[in-house]
């Protein structure tokens, strides 16, 4: 009995809800998830991914066609242009919402009618691993639950976290400058609800076990509609306690373990991803002991890689990579350089100096980017993220400004990302080489809109077919690199990785397949000048035949050297 799912679940619940009858609560959660008390556990340390996995990140309505629901248009675009390129699709929140481009959810169990319906979602899930956002920290102030909170009726009466203006909230960590508490009128009088992100996004109260049970039911609903990857949005803030920072609390980690336990017992091939845009050491804690997130975002990669390519110096990127622990089997990293959000600056804490951050910010602003701020516990505003389209973020260098190497620099960034330990994820606007959308920022008044533009499918297809278009050149070359990557066992997300020491102008690392039959030396010129690589410095095995997977160049003289053009990359492999 001590090894049953019920016992494990009840033991975890004891940590979170010490005053509750956790045996009864475990019964309730298992019933909600449709699991028996003794459901068998999935294999331990199982990798639900391999080298062929590549993810696309997109909004449901990024690609549109007149007279067609956006989810249908997205499915058409996937089938016509990406069916041999990506294995997984992250459709950002496709639910009815009131603000924040979907992250202020009004109804977790409905599809936004303007996007399509559940049938459209299920069709995409039939062909791709589908990632859904579990916007678990907060809900729309216009949701039915919050209306019931105001009316003081269930479900919703005790679903949202409250505090008082007189409480000591000085230690709370915030990602925004808006007020933390918002006064609302209810049938019981005025109450103050906790709003980590905005007045329209009210934090849920997981101290009430029924909120947990509601989300377990939501998860089961998604699983039954084909979704197998769950992105726990803003999960670091999930558990709140007055007088604490209210971030990364132990109860939050336990709740992630509980959700993972239920999810993987229901669908063993499912994956839990935590979205925790925080300093690197804090982010790594969400692996737990391989019992929390299966996958964590590599949040330090985007700012460090951009900084490397605009400064022509890889010192910080190399130092960070050497410090990263290899993920245990059954866990891995999600590598990305751009997303629907901006480029976070908190993940550079302890990695870049304040002066280096300021130089990076100034460079991004000179390339048309914007900066968002957060409020620290002492009341000061600090830069939180840089809002810029990745294609424009790499249009030049910090020293010289814009130049003619933009496309090469952009491709180099993705060549690095594709080769690193972990699963690569492409934001759709990066895959298409979309530029800053200043008009959208002007129309919405939101800085993040700079990288959340929309494409008419006919216009997009014309651009992708035009060999003179940079969109064509970006899309074609990235698809070619992805096709190469997906065939290499040494690029398995859990394959061995070691950092190479080739100076500050060449960024390199070695990958070795788990069967140790393939090695790939990944070397990148991160400068706008020609660089030489001595092959003797990378210890190529003399009995193997080596070639560059990207260019097809065969290496015959292992005592010689390679000449790398500005922003050129090589993947030197001992097997084709």
- CA angle 403–408–410, rounded 5-degree value: 95
**Among the listed residues 370, 229, 374, the one whose alpha carbon sits nearest the alpha carbon of residue 297:** 229
Q: Which residues pair with 507 in a beta bridge?
A: 524
- CA angle 311–313–316, rounded 5-degree value: 110
Q: Tell me, what DSSP letter sits at residue 43? A: P
- As a whole number of angstroms, the distance between CA 506 and CA 526 comes to 6
Name every residue whose Cβ is closer than 8 Å to that of residue 289 and which is 6 or more positions away in sequence: none
**Among the listed residues 431, 389, 428, the one whose alpha carbon sits nearest the alpha carbon of residue 92:** 428
Strands (E), 282-420: 295-297, 332-335, 343-344, 370-375, 381-387, 396-397, 401-402
Q: Are 522 and 504 in contact (CB under 8 A)?
A: no
The verdict on whether 233 is a catalytic residue reads: yes
The SS3 assignment for 341 reads: coil
Q: For residue 523, which phi and psi values (nearest 5 degrees)?
A: -125, 130
Q: Are 101 and 233 in contact (CB under 8 A)?
A: no
269: its two tokens: 């091939």
Q: Which entry of 120, 200, 203, 233 is annotated as an active-site residue?
A: 233
Name every residue whose Cβ is closer than 8 Å to that of residue 28 and which is 6 or more positions away in sequence: 213
Which sequence positions are flagged as catalytic? 233
């Amino acid at each position: 009995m001590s090894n049953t799912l019920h016992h494990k679940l009840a033991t975890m619940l004891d940590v979170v809800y010490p005053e509750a009858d956790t045996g009864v609560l475990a019964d309730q959660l298992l019933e909600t998830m449709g699991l028996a008390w003794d459901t068998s556990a999935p294999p331990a340390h199982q990798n639900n991914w391999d080298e062929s996995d590549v993810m696309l990140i997109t909004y449901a309505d990024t690609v549109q066609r007149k007279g067609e629901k956006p989810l249908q248009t997205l499915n058409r675009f996937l089938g016509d242009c990406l069916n041999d390129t990506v294995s997984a699709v992250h459709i950002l929140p496709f639910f009815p919402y009131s603000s924040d481009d979907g992250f202020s959810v009004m109804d977790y169990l409905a599809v936004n009618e303007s996007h399509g319906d559940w049938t459209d979602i299920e069709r995409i899930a039939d062909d791709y691993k589908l990632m859904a956002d579990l916007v678990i920290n907060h809900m729309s102030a216009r949701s039915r639950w919050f209306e019931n909170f105001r009316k003081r009726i269930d479900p919703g009466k005790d679903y949202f976290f409250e505090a008082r203006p007189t409480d000591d909230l000085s230690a709370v960590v915030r990602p925004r400058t808006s007020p933390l508490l918002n006064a609302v009128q209810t049938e019981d009088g005025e109450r103050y609800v906790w709003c980590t992100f905005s007045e329209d996004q009210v934090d849920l109260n997981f101290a009430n076990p029924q909120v947990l049970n509601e989300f377990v039911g939501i998860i089961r609903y998604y699983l039954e509609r084909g979704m197998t990857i769950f992105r726990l949005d803003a999960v670091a803030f999930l558990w709140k306690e007055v007088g604490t920072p209210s971030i990364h609390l132990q109860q939050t980690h336990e709740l992630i373990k509980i959700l993972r336990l239920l999810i993987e017992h229901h669908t063993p091939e499912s994956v839990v991803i935590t979205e925790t845009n925080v300093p690197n050491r804090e982010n790594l804690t969400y692996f737990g002991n391989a019992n929390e997130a299966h996958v964590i975002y590599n949040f330090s990669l985007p700012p460090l890689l951009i900084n490397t390519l605009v400064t022509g110096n890889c010192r910080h990127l190399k130092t960070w990579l050497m410090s990263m622990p290899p993920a245990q089997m059954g866990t891995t990293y999600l590598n990305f350089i751009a997303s629907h959000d901006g480029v976070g600056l908190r993940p550079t804490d302890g990695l870049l100096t304040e002066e280096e951050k300021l130089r990076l910010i100034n460079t991004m602003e000179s390339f048309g980017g914007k900066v968002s701020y957060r409020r620290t516990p002492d009341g000061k505003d600090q830069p939180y993220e840089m809002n810029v389209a990745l294609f424009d973020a790499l249009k030049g260098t910090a020293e010289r400004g814009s130049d003619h190497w933009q496309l090469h620099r952009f491709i180099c960034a993705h060549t690095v990302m594709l080769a690193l330990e972990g699963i690569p994820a492409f934001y759709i606007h990066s895959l298409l080489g979309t530029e800053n959308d200043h008009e959208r920022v002007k129309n919405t008044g939101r800085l993040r809109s700079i990288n959340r533009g929309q494409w008419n499918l006919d216009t997009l297809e014309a651009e992708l077919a035009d060999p003179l278009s940079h969109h064509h050149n970006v899309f074609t070359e990235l698809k070619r690199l992805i096709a190469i990557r997906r065939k290499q066992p040494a690029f398995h997300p859990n394959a061995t990785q070691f950092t190479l020491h080739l100076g500050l102008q060449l960024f390199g690392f070695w990958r070795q397949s788990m069967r140790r039959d393939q090695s790939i030396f990944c070397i990148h010129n991160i400068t706008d000048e020609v660089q030489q690589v001595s092959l003797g410095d990378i210890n190529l095995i003399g009995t193997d035949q080596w070639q560059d997977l990207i260019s097809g160049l065969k290496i015959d003289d292992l005592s010689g050297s390679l000449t790398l053009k500005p922003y050129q990359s090589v993947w030197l492999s001992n097997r084709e």
